[in-house]
């Protein structure tokens, strides 16, 4: 989800008194985390996405819908567009994948090749969920590059979603993980490592590690390194380092508030995170985590430059493009 404090405009030094739109990172990017629908399943469409990518120096993007939809309750005067817009509940919405697939298919072939779409429209607590994954994979065989973002432990969203809390070690996900391994599909998970009230130790980390341990052939990507709003634990970089050391197929993405609050607080890159990134750059990718609002793509990715500037050329290339291309593009059929 986007950083609400980021402006989409900057002072134009060549024209005093005017503002110019921010164009994105100075480094060509693969945005590895981009929702193309909002929480009421609306999308600006494929053409708007490609135009925003071109403006923001984004060569390719990992795109997906949202597996839940927000209810517009009778007592709410305004329609919501975000899960925190009001107190109404969310429910699982399988048609999000159809929206994404049709968005992709609406584009010319050369533009479709710039997108890595993922399947996410299933209930991760339902043992029938794998049926929905297989159905989408078979119905749109020329589209999919992976599975995700699977929304599991997610602070307020977990509390607002109907049904039992979703978690990475729910046995309903076991056949999904097996299917992913069989088809060499990466699985992008949002799994908070702890709860909002437990900031002294990662109470939910064991749920993630059970999945990592029991499915060593499945390629998992941990969104935001397992962090969310008001979620933090001591020695966070050490925890991420241990996970990367212990689980050789695990990949993480730097997106959303992990960057602003942990990796680069106050705009100053952490030396510990710089060292970690240099060591594991081939298993780290960058994303905007926008929920539509494509006009913000440039400034969301531009903010990474202060961190990227301090990396080696090899590490920077891995974060900006190479890791995401390898993880999401390695198994994809050529799009006709």
Three-state secondary structure string covering 19-83: EEECCCCCCCEEEEEEECCCCCCCCCCHHHHHHHHHHCCEEEEEEECCCEEECCCCCCCCCCCCC
Distances (CA, A) of 49 to 14, 126, 145, 185, 324: 29, 32, 18, 24, 18
Q: How does 222-261 read in b/e, with b if 16+ C-beta sit within 10 Å?
A: bbbbbbbbebbbeebbebbbebbeebebbbbbbbbbbbeb
| Listed residue (57, 74, 43) closest to 300, CA to CA | 57
Q: What is the pLDDT of residue 238?
A: 94
Q: What is the pLDDT of residue 14?
A: 56
Helices (H), 146-290: 155-160, 174-182, 205-214, 236-246, 257, 271-279
**Bridge partner residues of 69 (DSSP):** 91
Q: What is the pLDDT of residue 158?
A: 83
Q: For residues 255 and 251, what is the distance between their CA atoms, to the nearest angstrom? A: 13
Task: Identify whether the C-beta of residue 66 lies closer than 8 Å to the C-beta of residue 96.
Answer: yes
Q: Quick check: helix, strand or coil at residue 216?
A: coil
Q: Quick check: helix, strand or coil at residue 160?
A: helix
Q: What is the pLDDT of residue 336?
A: 40
Q: For residues 250 and 157, what is the distance between their CA atoms, to the nearest angstrom? A: 25
Assign residue 224 a region (left: φ > 0; alpha: ψ between -120 and 50; beta: otherwise).
left
Domains (ranges, CATH) in the chain?
9-326 (3.20.20.140)
Each of the 336 residues of the chain gets a pLDDT tens digit; together they read 555 444 444 444 555 544 455 579 999 999 999 999 999 999 999 999 999 999 999 999 999 999 999 999 888 888 888 887 788 999 999 999 999 999 999 999 999 999 999 999 999 999 999 999 999 999 999 999 999 999 999 888 888 899 999 999 999 999 999 999 999 999 999 999 877 666 677 889 999 999 999 999 999 999 999 987 766 667 889 999 999 999 999 999 999 889 998 999 999 999 999 999 999 999 999 999 999 999 999 999 999 999 999 999 999 999 999 999 999 998 765 444
Q: What is the pLDDT of residue 215?
A: 98
CB atoms within 10 A of CB 214: 11
Distant-in-sequence, close-in-space partners of 286: CB < 8 Å, separation ≥ 6? 29, 30, 31, 32, 33, 253, 254, 255, 301, 304, 319, 320, 324
Assign residue 112 a region (left: φ > 0; alpha: ψ between -120 and 50; beta: otherwise).
alpha
Q: What is the DSSP letter of 267?
A: G
**Residue 265 structure tokens:** 């607080």
Q: Is the dihedral of CA 53, 266, 152, 205 positive or negative?
A: positive
| Listed residue (301, 316, 235, 230) closest to 270, CA to CA | 235
Q: Quick check: helix, strand or coil at residue 215?
A: coil
Long-range contacts of 107-110 (CB under 8 A, 24+ apart): 107/46, 107/47, 107/50, 109/335, 109/336
Q: What is the pLDDT of residue 174?
A: 99
For the residues of 228-264, what is the DSSP string, one character each?
-TT---TTHHHHHHHHHHH-TT-EEEE-THIIIIIIS
Taking the alpha carbons at both ends of the chain, their separation in whole angstroms is 32
pTM for this entry: 0.92
């Amino acid at each position: 989800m986007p950083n609400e404090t980021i402006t989409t405009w900057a002072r134009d030094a060549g024209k005093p008194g005017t503002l110019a739109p921010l164009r994105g990172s100075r480094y060509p990017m693969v945005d590895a985390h981009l929702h193309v629908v909002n929480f009421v399943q609306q999308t600006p469409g494929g053409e708007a996405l490609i135009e925003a990518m071109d403006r923001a120096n984004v060569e390719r993007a990992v795109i997906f819908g949202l597996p839940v939809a927000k209810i517009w309750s009778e007592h709410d005067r305004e329609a919501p567009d975000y899960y925190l817009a009001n107190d109404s509940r969310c429910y699982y919405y399988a048609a999000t994948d159809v929206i994404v697939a049709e968005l992709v298919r609406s584009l010319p072939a050369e533009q479709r090749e710039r997108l890595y779409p993922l399947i996410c429209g299933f209930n991760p607590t339902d043992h029938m969920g794998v049926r929905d994954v297989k159905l989408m994979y078979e119905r749109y065989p020329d589209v999919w590059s992976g599975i995700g973002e699977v929304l599991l432990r997610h602070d307020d969203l977990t509390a607002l979603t109907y049904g039992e809390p979703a978690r990475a070690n729910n046995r309903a996900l076991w056949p999904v993980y097996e299917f992913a391994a069989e088809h060499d599909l990466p699985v992008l998970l949002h799994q908070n490592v702890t709860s909002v009230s437990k900031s002294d130790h990662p109470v939910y980390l064991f749920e993630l590690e059970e999945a990592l341990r029991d499915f060593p052939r499945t390629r998992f990507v941990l969104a935001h390194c397992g962090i969310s709003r008001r979620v933090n634990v001591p020695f966070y970089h050490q925890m991420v380092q241990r996970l990367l050391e212990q689980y050789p197929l695990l990949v993480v993405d730097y997106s959303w508030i992990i960057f602003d609050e942990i990796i680069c607080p106050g705009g100053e890159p952490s030396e510990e995170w710089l060292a970690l990134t240099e060591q594991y750059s081939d298993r780290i990718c960058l994303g905007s985590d926008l929920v539509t609002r494509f006009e913000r793509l440039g400034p969301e990715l531009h903010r990474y430059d202060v961190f990227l500037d301090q990396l080696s050329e090899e590490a920077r290339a891995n974060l900006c493009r190479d890791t995401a291309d390898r993880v999401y593009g390695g198994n994809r059929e050529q799009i006709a």
